[in-house]
């Protein structure tokens, strides 16, 4: 299984803070793409190019590999001022 976490605006748009998925995906991008197909709010929350991903609490690229037992977190870029 993959544990998928959502933070900040991503969580607010889809209304969930986490889900579990079977470990049938090869990359974080495959997970993102699969979830974005769940509906309009999912697609907006997980829009490619406006999203960061961490795998096992390490910031990674969407093309990074995932495996059973991994924790994948999706969140928007953070800015400050």
Q: What confidence score (pLDDT) does residue 31 get?
A: 98
Query: Are residues 50 and 74 in contact, defined by beta-carbon separation less than 8 angstroms?
Result: no
pTM of the predicted model as reported, rounded to 2 decimal places: 0.93
Q: What confidence score (pLDDT) does residue 79 get?
A: 56
Q: What confidence score (pLDDT) does residue 26 get?
A: 97
From first to last of its 81 residues, the chain has per-residue pLDDT tens of 999 999 999 999 999 999 999 999 999 999 999 999 999 999 999 998 889 999 999 999 999 999 999 999 999 987 555
Q: Which two tokens stand for residue 73?
A: 């977190």
Length of the chain: 81
Q: What confidence score (pLDDT) does residue 59 get?
A: 97
Query: Are residues 27 and 66 in contact, defined by beta-carbon separation less than 8 angstroms?
Result: yes
Domains belonging to the chain, first-starting first, are: 2-75 (3.10.20.30)
d(CA 17, CA 1): 17
């Amino acid at each position: 299984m993959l544990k998928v976490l959502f933070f900040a605006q991503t969580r607010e748009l889809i209304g969930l803070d986490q889900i579990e998925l079977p470990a049938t995906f090869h990359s974080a991008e495959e997970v993102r793409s699969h979830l974005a197909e769940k509906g309009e709010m999912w697609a907006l929350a997980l829009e490619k190019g406006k999203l960061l991903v961490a795998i096992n609490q390490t910031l990674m690229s969407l093309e990074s590999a995932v495996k059973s037992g991994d924790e994948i977190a999706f969140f928007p870029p953070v800015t400050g001022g």
